Amino acid sequence: MLDRGDPSGPHSSQSDHRQAAPLLRVVRGEPSAEELAALTVVIAAMSQRRSRRRPVPVGAWASFADGHRRPGEQGPGGWRAAGRFA
């Protein structure tokens, strides 16, 4: 029969002796166990959230709506009436 010995014996790994830094630290106040649990859930959920890809802005000259507009105004000031610069 094998004697596994004490896990904290002289042959245990060094990582067992190190203390991990706390993930959360209360700076002020005395939160209840429920409040700490809720905070932990929120932080865990935010760390697992995928980054959102922002939509690539379309330049104004490539606008879909511009292809479906009425023809530009004729005469003086017609460029102002075109709507793009108004």
Q: Which residues of 7-40 are buried (b: 16+ CB within 10 A; e: fewer)?
A: eeeeeeeeeeeeeeeeeeeeeeeeeeeeeeeeee
Position 58 scores a pLDDT of 67
Please report, in tens digits, the pLDDT of each residue of the chain (86 residues total): 444 555 555 555 555 557 888 778 889 999 999 999 999 999 888 887 676 777 777 676 677 776 776 777 778 877 777 665 54
Position 39 scores a pLDDT of 92
* Residue pair 24/39 in contact by the 8 Å Cβ criterion: yes
Planar angle of CA 37, 39, 40, nearest 5 degrees: 65
Q: Report pTM.
A: 0.35
* Residue pair 31/39 in contact by the 8 Å Cβ criterion: yes
* Residue pair 24/40 in contact by the 8 Å Cβ criterion: yes
